[in-house]
Amino acid sequence: MQDHSDLVKRAQEVLRWLREDGNSPARGLNDQPRPILIEFAGTPKSGKSTCIEAVRHFFHRTGFKVATPSEGASRRTPSHFKSDLTAYNAWNASYAIRQVIEIVHQPERFDIGILDRGLFDTVAWFEWLAKTGEVDRATADVVVEFIMLENWRASIDIVVLMQADPADAMQRENENKLVEKTGRAMNPESLAELNVVYDSVQDQHKHLFPFFLGLDTSTTEASLENSARLVVEVMLGLMEAQMP
């Protein structure tokens, strides 16, 4: 466990500024005050849930009001959708947009919003579905255009893209399991395809977000702590930039 007291001190200074002066962590369209919003995207078993919990825990313990909508769309999606990846990701897209709208319009309740599988992530999955032929190109283009509308996309301050080597992802998936079984997306071939798609979507769309952070989490558990620290540093930096 590393010493993160420097981050705690910075967080306390930001929080003092927010509470004493009635300031806002971020500004939306028309300069309206709103929470700072971060999306975690990336391949399955890349460490998103672990990193999200570490970031949430840090800001919660230092006094910030944090929204983590129902542990993220990836855990809230009805299980009976998972056999139909088009329906599954359409549900995720609508869920993510709804959560962005709800969080952004409640600046009095939240300082920070954390999304697990948000807008960027859903775009990547629809690009993959188009690549594999599960949806036609025209349909995917319409869906992506809707997901990336400025009305909600502009509220995402940071996208954290976490990717892991397929072999490492499969090892994490099967760790402590009695039966090793692959799934429609959770197999080495699909994971490799998804990594290529995420790289492509990053090249196409990362300029639309104020801050984009790519993380390779293929190695050890220690790297997830380093990743969480880096995310916290970026979030604090964006909020500190609002301070005089």
pLDDT cut 70: percent of the chain above it:
87
pTM over 0.85: yes
- Which position has the higher pLDDT, 10 or 90? 10
- In the chain, how long is the greatest CA-to-CA distance? 56
Spatial distance between the Cα atoms of 6 and 212, rounded to a whole number of angstroms: 23
Chain-wide mean pLDDT for the chain?
Answer: 86
DSSP state of 41: E
- For residue 211, the cross-strand partners are 158
pLDDT in tens, 68-125: 886 555 566 777 777 787 888 888 889 999 999 999 988 888 999 999 889 999 999 9
Residue 244 — very low, low, confident or very high, per pLDDT cuts 50/70/90? Answer: confident
What letter represents residue 63's amino acid? G
Residue 23 confidence (pLDDT): 78
Spatial distance between the Cα atoms of 132 and 135, rounded to a whole number of angstroms: 8
- Which position has the higher pLDDT, 80 or 52? 52
Lowest mean pLDDT among 52-61, 103-112, 145-154: 103-112
Angle at 119 between CA 199 and CA 93, to 5 degrees: 120
Cβ neighbourhood burial of 181 (10 Å; 0-12, 13-18, 19+)? exposed
Contact criterion met (CB below 8 Å) for 89 and 44: no
Is the confidence at residue 174, as pLDDT, over 90?
Answer: no
Spatial distance between the Cα atoms of 182 and 148, rounded to a whole number of angstroms: 31
Phi and psi at residue 216, in whole multiples of 5°? Answer: -95, 115
Q: Where are the alpha helices (DSSP H) in the chain?
A: 5-21, 48-61, 73-76, 85-104, 119-131, 137-147, 150-153, 166-174, 188-205, 221-240
Q: Which residues have C-beta within 8 Å of that of residue 138, sequence separation ≥ 6?
A: none
Is the confidence at residue 185, as pLDDT, over 70?
Answer: no
CATH of 5-240, one of 3.40.50.620, 3.40.50.300, 3.40.50.1820, 1.20.120.1080: 3.40.50.300
DSSP state of 2: -
pLDDT in tens, 191-221: 889 999 999 999 999 999 999 999 988 875 5
Segment 53-66 mean pLDDT: 96
Domain ranges in the chain are 5-240
DSSP character string of 136-170: -HHHHHHHHHHHT-HHHHTT--EEEEEE--HHHHH
Give me Rg for the CA atoms of the chain: 18
Residue 153 confidence (pLDDT): 94
Q: How many residues does this entry show for the chain?
A: 244
Spatial distance between the Cα atoms of 29 and 51, rounded to a whole number of angstroms: 29
Residue 84 confidence (pLDDT): 83
Phi and psi at residue 155, in whole multiples of 5°? Answer: -85, -10
